[in-house]
Amino acid sequence: MNKIYNPTKETWQSILKRPTANFNDIEETVKGIFKEVQTKGDSAVTKYTSLFDGITIGNIEVSENEIKEAINLVSDDLKNAIQLAKSNIEKFHAAQKTAKVFVETTEGVQCWQEKRPIQKIGLYIPGGTAPLFSTVLMLAVPAQIAGCQEVVLCSPPDKSGKINPAILYTANLCGVTKILKVGGIQAIAAMTFGTVTIPKVYKIFGPGNQFVTVAKQLATQFGVAIDMPAGPSELLIVADDTAVPAFIASDLLSQAEHGTDSQVILVSTSKELIDKVEEEVQKQLEVLPRKAIAEKAIANSKLIFVENDKIALELIDEYGPEHFIISTKDEDFYVRNIGNAGSVFIGNYTPESAGDYVSGTNHTLPTNGYAKNYSGVNLDSFLKAMTFQKISEIGIQNIGKTIEIMAEAEGLQAHKNAVTLRLKDLKI
Amino acid sequence: MNKIYNPTKETWQSILKRPTANFNDIEETVKGIFKEVQTKGDSAVTKYTSLFDGITIGNIEVSENEIKEAINLVSDDLKNAIQLAKSNIEKFHAAQKTAKVFVETTEGVQCWQEKRPIQKIGLYIPGGTAPLFSTVLMLAVPAQIAGCQEVVLCSPPDKSGKINPAILYTANLCGVTKILKVGGIQAIAAMTFGTVTIPKVYKIFGPGNQFVTVAKQLATQFGVAIDMPAGPSELLIVADDTAVPAFIASDLLSQAEHGTDSQVILVSTSKELIDKVEEEVQKQLEVLPRKAIAEKAIANSKLIFVENDKIALELIDEYGPEHFIISTKDEDFYVRNIGNAGSVFIGNYTPESAGDYVSGTNHTLPTNGYAKNYSGVNLDSFLKAMTFQKISEIGIQNIGKTIEIMAEAEGLQAHKNAVTLRLKDLKI
C-alpha cells in the first residue's frame, strides 16, 4: 500500500490517476464481429460462442425446462436472500417514480412532462468465476417497475452449455422476457442488430470485460443507448479516529477482490488510523480465497493523510469515487458537501457490500470519474422523459407575437409564418 | 412530396428510413484537431479559428464591454420576447425539480437519492445564418436552475470577430459564466481537454454541423458526457379532416426550412387532407426566404395515408419522431398511447415553433429515432442522481445474513467478511 502524507494540490491529479485502458488493439476485433453478426445473424453468434466459450449450442434460448431445473438447484437460503434483496431494491426504485409535471406557463399554454418506458432493453450478465445474479436484480427489477415491454438477458454459457442457476432463477423471478445463452462481443452485437433468435433492443445495460465494454461503445454508433461507460470498480473511504480499522480494512479488501485493476483509496486525517488499517489489511488478506487478485489491487492502493476534513472533501470531489464510504465523526459534513460520487455509505455499520446486494440502492454505478457527469442506474435509466404542449386560441394569442419576433430574429420565416397564419385566422 | 397510400407493414422500415450520415471521412480531421488542441492548447485553437472562421482573434474571451455593446444592440422588442420565453422555460424546468427520495427499506436501513448539479458544463451555440439565441435559453436556463457552477459558452466569431448580439445578450441574462469566441471542432476539443483560456468541462450540450457532431462523439472517449447524439431535425404530423390544411402546411415548412436534410412526414386517415396540404405547401413555399432549402427537404417529404388511427399510431411509434404534432379529432388516443416521441404538440393552435421558442418545453430533442431511448434535454440533464445509505446496528443485523449468503454464492468472500466482522462485533 502506498502511504502519502499531505500531498500538495499540484500532485493530486497524478496521485488520483486511474489506469487508462488502451482499447485500440481490440477495436478491430470488435468491429469485425459486429459486421459478421450484422450480416450473418445467428450463425455468426453460434460461431463465436464455439470459439470463445468452447461450446456449440443448438438452441441458444433458455427453455422453460431449464428454468424449472434452475429453480430446483438454488437453495432455499439463497432464494430467500434474493427475495429480500429484490424487495428492498423494489421499494427504493418504486419510490423514484415521478408524477407528471404539469405547468400552465402562460394563460392558455399548457406544458407537461411524462416519463414512458424504453420499450425494448437488453441486459448483459457476465459469466466466469462470479455469477452476478445480484446484477440481474439491479437491472431487471427497475426495468419491471418502469414497464419495459421486452427485457432480453444475454449471458455466456459455461463449458456444459448452461447458465448459472442463480442467474436463471433471478431472471425468471424479475420478469425477464427472454434469456439467451450468448456472451461477449457477439451478445452485444446481436442485441444491437437483432437476429432471428435475439431481439434488437433500444438500450443495453450491464457490466463486462474489456471486450464487452468496447462492444457497448460501438453499439452506440448504431443507435443503441447504453447505461454508462465502464471502467474498473473503485472505492474511496474517508475515515478518522472514530472508525474501526478492521471494518475499514474489510471494505478496502472487498473492493480489491473484484479485480487486480480495482481502485482502492483511503483518505484520513489520522496517521494512526492509516497505520492500523494497513496492519489489518495484511492480516485479513491472508485468509481470502481471492487473495491473489486482492493482493495486486492492494499493492496499487493509496492511503492518503490530509490535515483536515476540508482538504479531504476537495480531494475526494476531484476524484469522484464510484463507492464512497464515510466513517468520520462529522459525517454530515461529507454527506452535505460531496459533489461527485456514485453511491455513498455512511457510518461504521454500512459496508459497501450492503449496497452491492441488499440495502436497496443500485450497484451499477459510474466509475473512472464518471460520477462527475453520470448518474448511477436508477428508475429513470429505463424511462424517457417526453414533453407535451397544448395551446388554446387564447394561448397562441398570448405568446404568438413573441414567437414571431424570435423566429424573425433567427431568420426563420417559416417558423414565424406558422404562427402568423393562426393569429390571422383568429382575428377573422 | 411523396404520397404513399396504405403502405404494408413490411415497407414501413424503408419508408421511414432516415438518411445515414457517413462520418468516416471527417473522423480523421476531427481526431487530428483534438490531438493538436490537447497538446498545444490555445495556440491550436487560434490557428483553427483563423483557418475555419477566417479571422485571427487576440482575446477569445468575450469582455464585459462587448456584452454591454451587445445589450445596446438588441431591440427592446426582442429583449421582451427573450424575457417572456425565459420566464416560461424557467417555470417549466423549475417544476421538474425532484425532492430527495427517502426509503427505509428494512428497519435500520435508510436509503435515499439526491440530485446534485454537474459542476462544469459547456454549451455550444453554432454561428452561421441563424443566430440560435433560443438554444442559449434552452440550455443556460435549466443549467442555472440545476445550480451548475461553471457554464462555459462557445460560439464561432463572424468575419469581424464578433458573436451575434442576441446570443451575448441571452447568455449574459441566463448566468453563463464565460463566453468564448471559438467554434467548430476546436471549441469541442478545448472544452474536452481545457486550455489556459477555455475551461475543461464535464458535459457538453448543444447543436452543430457534422464536424461538431463528430467532435462531440469523440469527446465522449475522453470522459466528457454529451447531451445526446445528433441528427437532422424531424417533424411528423398526424392529421385528419378536423385539421386546417394551411396550418399543417406551415408546420411542415417550418421544419423543412431548417436544412435540406430535414425530415418532414404527414400521416393521415384522410386522402382529401393530404391533397389539400400538398397544395398549401406549394403555395406557402413560394414566398419563403429560405425557399431553396425548404424546397429540397419538401421534395423528400412523405405524405402517408393509412386506414385508421390504430395503424397510424403503430407507424409513428416505429418512427419515433423528434417533434410530433397531433391534429386529429381523437387527440387523446395519440397522447395516451404514443410511446416514442421527443416533444408532442397537440391541437390546431400548437405549432412546433411555439415549442422551439416560448411555450416552456425544451427544444433540444432526440432525432434520428433516438426518441426510443433518449429523453430530450430537461432539468435532469444538468444533474446527477446520487444514492446514499446509512445502516444502523439493528439494520446490519437485519440484512447481514442475506448479504453473507449472496456474497458467498457469488464467490466474493471479502464482501461477506465485511459483514461478518461487523455482526461479530455486535454480538460481543
Q: State pLDDT tens for residues B89-137.
A: 999 999 999 999 999 999 999 999 999 999 999 999 998 777 899 999 9
Smallest CA–CA distance from B389 into chain A, residue:
A345
Per-residue model confidence (pLDDT) at position A378 = 98
Q: Which residue, chain included where needed, has cell 496521485?
A: A15
Query: Which grid cell is A114?
Result: 411524462
Of the candidates B93, B295, B323, B352, the residue annotated as catalytic is: B323
Task: Name which of B27, B53, B48 is nearest B38 in CA terms.
Answer: B48
Q: Is A352 an 8 Å CB contact of chain B?
A: yes
The radius of gyration of chain B's CA atoms, rounded to the nearest angstrom, is 26
A2-20+231-360 and A24-226: identical CATH topology: yes
Of the candidates A66, A234, A280, A323, the residue annotated as catalytic is: A323
Fold of A392-427: 1.20.5
Q: Do A105 and B88 touch (CB under 8 A)?
A: yes
Annotated binding site of A for NAD(+): 124, 186, 209
Nearest to A111 among B92, B372, B406 (CB): B92
Per-residue model confidence (pLDDT) at position A428 = 67
Q: Do A373 and B224 touch (CB under 8 A)?
A: yes
Q: Is B279 an 8 Å CB contact of chain A?
A: no
Q: Exposure of A160 by Cβ count < 10 A (0-12 exposed, 13-18 middle, 19+ buried)?
A: exposed
Q: Is B91 an 8 Å CB contact of chain A?
A: yes
- ipTM of the complex, rounded to two decimals: 0.96
Q: Do B105 and A359 touch (CB under 8 A)?
A: yes
Q: Do B373 and A294 touch (CB under 8 A)?
A: no
- Tens of pLDDT, residue by residue over B252-307, are 999 999 888 889 999 999 999 999 999 999 999 999 988 999 999 999 899 999 99
At B382, the amino acid letter reads F
Which positions in chain A touch B101 (Cβ < 8 Å)? 92, 95-96
Q: Do A402 and B81 touch (CB under 8 A)?
A: yes
Which positions in chain A touch B386 (Cβ < 8 Å)? 338, 341-344, 371, 375-376
Which positions in chain B touch A384 (Cβ < 8 Å)? 340, 366, 371-375
Nearest to B417 among A98, A284, A421 (CB): A284
Q: Is B58 an 8 Å CB contact of chain A?
A: no
Q: Exposure of B308 by Cβ count < 10 A (0-12 exposed, 13-18 middle, 19+ buried)?
A: exposed
Determine the distance in angstroms separating the CA of B24 from the nearest CA of chain A, rounded to an integer. 12
Q: What tens-digit pLDDT sequence spans chain B (428 residues)?
A: 899 999 999 999 999 998 766 777 899 999 999 999 999 999 999 999 999 999 999 899 999 999 999 999 999 999 999 999 999 999 999 999 999 999 999 999 999 999 999 999 999 999 877 789 999 999 999 999 999 999 999 999 999 999 999 999 999 999 999 999 999 999 999 999 999 999 999 999 999 888 999 999 999 999 999 999 888 899 999 999 999 999 999 999 999 998 888 899 999 999 999 999 999 999 999 999 889 999 999 998 999 999 999 999 999 999 999 999 999 999 999 999 999 999 999 999 999 999 999 999 999 999 999 999 999 999 999 999 999 999 999 999 999 999 999 999 999 999 999 999 999 999 86
B322 tagged catalytic = yes
Determine the distance in angstroms separating the CA of B243 from the nearest CA of chain A, rounded to an integer. 12
Q: Is A393 an 8 Å CB contact of chain B?
A: yes
Which CATH code fits A24-226?
3.40.50.1980
Q: Which one is the CATH code of A2-20+231-360: 3.60.21.10, 3.40.50.1980, 1.10.3430.10, 3.30.420.270?
A: 3.40.50.1980
Residue ranges covered by each domain of chain B: 2-18+231-360, 24-226, 400-427
DSSP per residue, B86-151: HHHHHHHHHTT----EEEEEETTEEEEEEEEE-SEEEEE---SSS--HHHHHHHHHHHHHHT-SEE
Residue to mutate among A384, A392, A394, A426, with most B CBs inside 10 A, is A384
Determine the distance in angstroms separating the CA of B260 from the nearest CA of chain A, rounded to an integer. 14
A322 tagged catalytic = yes
Q: What tens-digit pLDDT sequence spans chain A (428 residues)?
A: 899 999 999 999 999 998 766 777 899 999 999 999 999 999 999 999 999 999 999 899 999 999 999 999 999 999 999 999 999 999 999 999 999 999 999 999 999 999 999 999 999 999 877 789 999 999 999 999 999 999 999 999 999 999 999 999 999 999 999 999 999 999 999 999 999 999 999 999 999 888 999 999 999 999 999 999 888 899 999 999 999 999 999 999 999 998 888 899 999 999 999 999 999 999 999 999 889 999 999 998 999 999 999 999 999 999 999 999 999 999 999 999 999 999 999 999 999 999 999 999 999 999 999 999 999 999 999 999 999 999 999 999 999 999 999 999 999 999 999 999 999 999 86
Smallest CA–CA distance from A89 into chain B, residue:
B105
Residue to mutate among A136, A356, A389, A427, with most B CBs inside 10 A, is A389
Which residues of B, range 212-241, sit inside 8 Å of A by Cβ? 220, 223-225, 229
Q: Which one is the CATH code of B2-18+231-360: 2.40.30.10, 1.10.1740.10, 3.30.70.330, 3.40.50.1980?
A: 3.40.50.1980
Q: Do A134 and B406 touch (CB under 8 A)?
A: yes
Q: Is A371 an 8 Å CB contact of chain B?
A: yes
Smallest CA–CA distance from A294 into chain B, residue:
B414
